Every structure is written in structure tokens, then in C-alpha cells.
Amino acid sequence: MALSKMDIPRTAQHFLECGIEDCERNCEFYCNLCHQRLCKQCRDEHLKRPENKNHEVVLYQQRKRQLPVEKCKIHPTKDEDMFCEECQVSLCSKCATKGDHPKHTFVDLEAVYAEKFTLFHQEISKIHEYLLPTSQDLQKEIKKDSSEIKHLMDNIRTSMKTEGESLKSLVDTVVSENIKQLDQIEHSLLEDLNTQDKTFDDYITYLNNLVKELHRCMSSTETQKLMSEKKPKIRSIPETTKPVTPGFTAGQCNKSDVTKLLGKIHVPNTKAEKREIRPIESVYNTAMKPTHKQMKEDRKKSDKKQTLSLSASVTKVREFKVPGVDTVFHVTLDQSDRLWISDKYGNLVQTDLQGNAIQKIKTNGGYGYHTVTQDRDLIFTDKDKKVIKRITQDNKITEFIKTGDWTPLCIHSSHITGDLLVGMVTNREAKVTRYNKTGKELQNIQRHNKGQGLYRYPHYITENINGDICTSDYDKGVVVVNKSGQHRFSYTGQKSVFRPYGICTDVLGHILVCDGYNLSNTVHLLDQDGQFLSLLLTQQKGVDYPRSVCVDDENNLYVGQFTTNTLTVYKYLK
């Protein structure tokens, strides 16, 4: 089956056209909602249309693979969108509720499909970028050695003949025997090199055939077939040896010892040296690509989610004071071993998980105004200058996004895409804007389908495990939209007055939000769809004016308060 334009591998020489009818310009962008290829001009036109204002348009290389639509064979009106890990089959949501899969683990089919697709692409990339060129380089080295062997042998022959000519009448027999011996050595060496050359011919043919097979698997429209295919175990590059060449020691012209006069061939008593195979890291950059091991670790984390549940009670683990701040208004997890903590006066402190200060910077302050990227860069907003700043690992500060007339209040770095989500206001308008890692604006979320504004004062923001954007808006409550910007739900508390502050999500998709109303002082727990589950923490449980929440990789809940610089750590999952 021929590959579609969407599936042309990045190694192919192909001009990818815009998918809009009658447009022949080069495709640069992709709409994840429409699954439409777009050039720059068509992208602008696409986003100008009111019905497309919440569409997610990204660079073509960052597109999300479209899951081939397959109808369930048992429920023809349903699409297959889930994958049973025990049975290794795809199925629809209705099948998952039947008794054929008791206590089985189901995962999102699109996620598994994307994982498989990515793995196969990586194997093809590995073959094209490393295995094939490295094998071809080694084969060239073998051919070069063959040429040098022949040249060396010719030189030795010339030396031997020069020596023999002076004593030809006496040494014809000895010369003949020496040449015969040398021919045998040459034959043996060249035979070995020819064998090595043939080995790489076979290996390169095997790699090319494997690439074709992988392309065949990836081009199939049968999702189940791709799901059932296992990652190929690619044979390693064959080991070969460099030839150990003979030398020639010239003899002395002495009639009494013809052999000594003419010299003899000697082969070094040296073990053949293995040819050096350059490491894969030197030519194949895996730092930007998730490895199969990383994917398996991600899947293990996903499996671990299945064993977690809410505890019957919340347990206080520890607490510590944060030096350099008066209150704890916002907490950002810096990977897994450090925290960034800020107060209402603009003091921003980095600490370890025990509260030991590492560094401190002065900012213009705010609420949820700082975040940490996947590369461990600190990103924070400057509401006075209306810019977003970045501090890299080498402590270089840059102003890499200017927000114009909009004042940036809160920011979050997506752990899914690496994009930045920024809540901002101007006059009486408010919105959430998505930027990519380089600061390019990708998406604006401002109104729901009825044209009314979604936000009024978004001062904390985060992202859920399904890509939902969860915003804590002081006037509008908790506002949740999906990754395309479509409004899913809003949560306005359990009483007449609800003033949300810090917000975060956990590995199970729960939403945790602080209620800063002075008669409440609670932390609310919601499920992924906005259903109220409980008041996780209350004043009776020792929480006073909570302002910030954060969950780390070990599922510890950090809670910061308005009245103190103490950060308290809780366990609420088991």
C-alpha cells in the first residue's frame, strides 16, 4: 500500500503541499482538530474564522498522529478507541464495560498507537542515520584495506625481486618459495576481507529489507495489525577485523645462506584488531526523542496510577519554613528534587525538598506567575513590563515573550507538549494564550461557543493529565477547557462565595484548588470532570488561609499559606 503524504518519512525527499484545495504552497502547519495540512497563509485564514478560534494549530513536525477510524465489529456504531493490555486487542468503550475483560487494564488506543508509531519511526531513523551509514563507512574501510594490501604486497614483491636479481642464479629456488608463501598469505588475507565485505553486503540488505517491512507496518490502515506488531530486534552491526599484514626483512648477499641473504616473510604475532564502530551517540541524537525505555517507564507510571486511590484520611508528613519569603503564595516543582516558592512581595526562592535555600531572586511578584520547563529553565511573568522572562541553567536571563497590551498574571509549562500556558488581562478582557517553547503564539482561548468571556481574572493555571487547561479565576471560579480551547465545565464552589487561588492536578487527574475566602480556608478536591469529591483540607485540619498547592512525583501534596512562610506536606493517596 502506498504511503499517504502524511506518512512520508522525514528521511524522504518530498515536497509536502498544503492540504487546502487549489493551494500549492509548502505545508508548514497542521490543525490537530481538523487533521488538516496548512501553509502559513492558509493557517492565518483558518484561525480567522470564528468557528475555528479554538482550533489547535501546531508546526507540522509537532502534529498529533490521526488514529485510523475503525468501527467496532461488535458495536458497529462505536469507534475502537481503547486498548486492552491483557488481551492486546483494540475495542470500543462499550466492549470495555462487558464481562469479556474482567479487571483488565485499558489504555487510550490513540496513545498506544502514537507510541508504536513513534517507536517504528525511531527504528527507521536509527537505521538511516546510524546503522546504514556506519556499515557503509566500515565497508569502505574494508575496500580501502584491500587496496592497501595489494599495494603493500606489490612493494614487497619489488623488494624481493630486487634482492633476487643480484644473486638470481643462486636464489631462484628460494625466491620462488618465498613468493609462493607470500601469495598464500595474500590469498588468505584477501579471502578474509572478501568474506567481511560479503558480510556487510548481507547486513545492509537485511537493514534495507527491515526498513521496507517497518514502512509496510506503519502504512497499514489496520490499527490492530500495527498494535500486534512487536518492535523488531535489530541485529547488531557485524564485528570484523583489520588485516594483519606481513613484512619483509631484506637478506645479505651471502652464498652460504641463500635464505638469510634473500630474507624471509614474517607475519606479526599480533591479534587482529577489531574495527572501531563509532558510538551511536555521535551521529544519532536521541536526546530529543523518547527512547523505548523511557516510553516503558512512562507506561509503568501509568500502570502505577491504576493502583493508586484516595486515602480515607489526609496525613501530615512534615513541614518546613522557607527562608527568604514571608508567605507562600505559589509553589512550582523544579523536576523532582527542588521547589521554587514565592510570596506576595516578589521574593522568589529555590529550595530543596527540606526547605534549604539554594538561590533567591527578586521579581515584580504575582500569584501563579512562575513555572519550570522540561529543560529545567525557570519561566516567570513580569506584569509591570508585560513580558515573560526565562532563566536558563547557566543563570542567563532573557525576555523572550512580550505580551503587548496584555498583562501576564499566571503561567504553566506543559509536561505533555512543553508549551507555555499564560493567563493574562487587559482592561476588562481576559484570556489564556498558548506559546510554544520558542515563544511563538499558537492559540488564544477567550470565549466559549456562545461568545461570552470565559475569564475575568485568571491568576493561577495548570494542565491536567488529559490536556485540559485548568484555570483558577478569582471571579469566575475554576474554568476548565480542553486542549482545543473548548469549554468543558466551571466549578464555583460549595457555598455562595468561592475565591479560588492556587490550583494543581495529580497523577489520577484530580483537580486540587485553594479556596481563599476568609470564612472557608479549605482545599477542594474535584475529579477530572469537575465533580466535587471532598474538602480535602480544612481549618479544623490545621490549614489557615491556603494560597498554593503542588503535587510532586511521589504524590506528596505541598500546601502554602497566606499567614506564614511554612510549607506543609501531606499524603492523601494510597
Q: DSSP readout, 14-53?
A: --PBPSSTT--SBP-EEETTTTEEE-HHHHHHHHHSGGGT
Please give the average per-residue pLDDT across 180-201, as a whole number: 90
Q: Report domain 308-573's class.
A: mainly beta
Quick check: 290 pLDDT over 60? no
pLDDT given for residue 371 in this prediction: 96
The edge-to-edge listing of strands for the beta sheet with 546-551 is 310-321, 566-573, 556-561, 546-551
Contacts of 159-164 with C-beta under 8 Å, sequence gap 24+, read 159/248, 159/250, 160/248, 160/262, 160/263, 163/250, 163/251, 163/253, 163/261, 163/262, 163/263, 164/262
pLDDT given for residue 283 in this prediction: 57
pLDDT given for residue 262 in this prediction: 67
Name the band, by pLDDT with cuts 50, 70 and 90, for residue 257.
Answer: low
What would the pLDDT profile of 110-159 be if each residue is shown by its tens digit? 778 877 877 887 888 888 888 998 899 899 989 998 998 898 888 888 88
Quick check: 8 pLDDT over 50? no
Residues 519 and 529 sit within 8 Å (Cβ to Cβ): no
Quick check: 306 pLDDT over 70? no
Residues 442 and 57 sit within 8 Å (Cβ to Cβ): yes
Among 305, 290, 289, residue whose Cα is nearest residue 108: 305
How far apart CA 422 and CA 181 sit, in angstroms, is: 80
Residues 337 and 356 sit within 8 Å (Cβ to Cβ): no
Residue 554's alpha-carbon distances to 100, 301, 353, 412, 415, in angstroms, are 34, 11, 12, 20, 16
Give rounded-to-5 percent helix, strand, coil for the chain: 30, 30, 40
Chain-centroid distance of CA 412 in Å reads 18
Quick check: 560 pLDDT over 90? yes
Quick check: 537 pLDDT over 90? yes
Quick check: 90 pLDDT over 60? yes
pLDDT given for residue 322 in this prediction: 94
Most confident of 58-67, 449-458, 472-481: 472-481
Residues 9 and 124 sit within 8 Å (Cβ to Cβ): yes
pLDDT given for residue 303 in this prediction: 52
What would the pLDDT profile of 317-333 be if each residue is shown by its tens digit? 999 999 999 999 999 99
pLDDT given for residue 256 in this prediction: 60
How far apart CA 223 and CA 209 sit, in angstroms, is: 22
Rg (the chain; Cα; Å): 34
Please give the average per-residue pLDDT across 467-485, as a whole number: 94
Quick check: 3 pLDDT over 50? no
Residues found in the chain: 574
Residue 557 DSSP label: E
Amino acid at residue number 307: T
Residue 198 DSSP label: H
Q: Report domain 5-62's class.
A: alpha beta
How far apart CA 454 and CA 431 sit, in angstroms, is: 8
Please give the average per-residue pLDDT across 401-406, as a whole number: 95
Beta strands in 273-427 (DSSP E): 310-321, 330-334, 338-342, 347-352, 357-362, 370-372, 378-382, 387-391, 397-402, 407-413, 420-426
What stretch(es) of the chain map to CATH 3.30.160?
5-62
Residues 116 and 229 sit within 8 Å (Cβ to Cβ): yes
Task: Round the average pLDDT of the chain to a whole number and report it.
Answer: 84
pLDDT given for residue 429 in this prediction: 94
Q: Which of 28-37, 469-478, 523-532 has the weakest average pLDDT? A: 28-37
Name the band, by pLDDT with cuts 50, 70 and 90, for residue 288.
Answer: very low
Quick check: 7 pLDDT over 50? no
Q: Which residue has the higher pLDDT, 35 or 566?
A: 566
Quick check: 377 pLDDT over 80? yes
Please give the average per-residue pLDDT across 279-299, as a whole number: 53
Q: Which residue has the higher pLDDT, 284 or 286?
A: 284
Q: Which residue has the higher pLDDT, 229 or 315?
A: 315
Alpha helices in 247-291 (DSSP H): 258-262
Quick check: 450 pLDDT over 60? yes
Quick check: 349 pLDDT over 90? yes
What stretch(es) of the chain map to CATH 2.120.10.30?
308-573
Quick check: 446 pLDDT over 60? yes
How far apart CA 261 and CA 254 sit, in angstroms, is: 6
Taking phi over 0 as left and psi of -120 to 50 as alpha, with beta for the rest, 350 belongs to: beta
